[in-house]
């Protein structure tokens, strides 16, 4: 076998779902869209900051000649369901089931690099996953793993869009694979199913309108998005669920998945201390944003599920929490769950003090809502 075939065989042994090869030539065709997204404030802010480094692999590895792109498939259906519970449950989207995919991909790529070094001791490489300099989908598309759909995700023939992507920038000289032609055609299902119309139709998006971004952003979630996240406390998969290429896909997990973490009980989730959260959820991808943001989302999820059993906890948060975002969000949540309050609850909300600007705004909105309902 030649080096390329040997690397493909090694990847299969390691458990890499799909592998492709492309040159380390620049990605200058992306520059216009990357700069425009930044100028129009459509970027999430989580991306690599230096655009020049996103375009030129040689700025990450001076000796770069070939990029090895890998995909790791992941399931979108739980292998086992969570047990019945007295509490309403929230949802982490499938990309956050099991061990954080950054660790999984990094481990697979380091294993692959170590095995390649046994074949070529002169190997130089740089690994990248998600937050690295290069645009993973652009690398994967050019390396023949799949095509970039109208939802901006890489779509593969074998695994749909449920794949994690990473790459090794190397000094190896390997024949590149051919890009896969776009397969979306006239289909617009992802565009029409997106609740926030964040997809622009050309594979780009207004990332700040994506519900996945909204579940990860700091501060108060804009009113426009609160009901749209339903009971999801991390991520959004609507554009994937609607994609025809994902119908009938049953990818296998590369890590153990605990349904109790994938679909956590919301009220107990609000009780977690920092230490408990880190111990229980610290190994999943969604934990990177920390307990407070996810607990804010859990409060919204309780409101969207109209869980009246959550009222005592929400009132406790309003009365005692030091987290101003949680307080303001809980005031809003009370208004969603309690359309007709008793006089004691009205008095409680009316006499709240020490609220910040967000809390005061939610207080005024709620009292006005109750006033309108009583007229």
* Catalytic residue set: 130
Give the CB-side neighbour count of residue 268, counting CA atoms within 13 A: 13
Spacing of C-alpha 224 from chain mean position: 19
Residue among 268, 259, 260 nearest 291 (CA): 268
CA distances from residue 161 to 73, 76, 94, 237, 256 in whole angstroms, order as listed: 9, 10, 12, 10, 21
Residue among 91, 97, 26 nearest 269 (CA): 91
The answer to whether 22 and 69 have CB atoms below 8 angstroms apart is yes
Helices 291-304, 274-281: inter-axial angle, 10-degree rounding: 90
Total count of residues recorded for the chain: 375
Give the CB-side neighbour count of residue 54, counting CA atoms within 13 A: 18
């Amino acid at each position: 076998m030649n080096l390329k075939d040997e690397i493909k065989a090694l990847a299969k042994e390691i458990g890499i779902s799909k592998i492709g090869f492309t040159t380390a030539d620049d990605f200058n065709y992306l520059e216009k869209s990357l700069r425009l997204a930044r100028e129009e404030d459509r970027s999430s802010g989580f991306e690599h900051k230096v655009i020049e480094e996103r375009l030129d692999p040689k700025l990450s590895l001076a000796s770069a000649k070939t990029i090895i792109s890998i995909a790791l498939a992941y399931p979108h259906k739980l292998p086992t369901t969570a047990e019945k519970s007295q509490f309403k449950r929230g949802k982490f989207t499938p990309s956050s089931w099991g061990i954080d995919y950054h660790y999984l991909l990094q481990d697979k790529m380091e294993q692959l690099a170590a095995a390649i070094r046994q074949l070529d001791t002169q190997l130089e490489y740089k690994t990248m996953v998600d937050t690295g300099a290069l645009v993973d989908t652009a690398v994967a598309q050019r390396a023949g793993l799949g095509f970039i759909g109208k939802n901006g995700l890489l779509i593969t023939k074998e695994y749909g869009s449920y794949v994690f992507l990473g790459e090794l920038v190397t000094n190896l000289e390997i024949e590149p694979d051919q890009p896969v032609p776009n397969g979306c055609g006239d289909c617009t299902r992802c565009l029409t199913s997106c609740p926030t119309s964040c997809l622009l139709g050309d594979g780009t998006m207004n990332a700040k309108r994506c519900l996945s971004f909204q579940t990860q952003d700091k501060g108060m979630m804009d009113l426009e998005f609160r009901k749209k996240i339903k009971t999801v406390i991390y991520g959004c998969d609507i554009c994937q669920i609607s994609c025809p290429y994902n119908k009938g896909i049953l990818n296998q997990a590369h890590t153990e998945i605990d349904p109790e973490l994938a679909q956590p009980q919301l009220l107990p989730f609000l009780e977690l201390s920092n230490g408990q959260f880190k111990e229980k959820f610290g190994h999943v991808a969604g934990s990177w944003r920390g307990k407070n943001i996810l607990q804010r989302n859990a409060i919204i999820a309780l409101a969207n599920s109209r869980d009246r059993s959550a009222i005592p906890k929400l009132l406790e948060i309003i009365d005692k929490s030091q987290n101003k975002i949680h307080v303001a969000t809980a005031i809003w949540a009370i208004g969603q769950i309690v359309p007709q309050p008793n006089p004691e609850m009205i008095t409680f909300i009316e006499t709240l003090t020490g609220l910040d600007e967000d809390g005061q705004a939610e207080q005024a909105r709620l009292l006005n809502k109750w006033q309108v309902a009583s007229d």
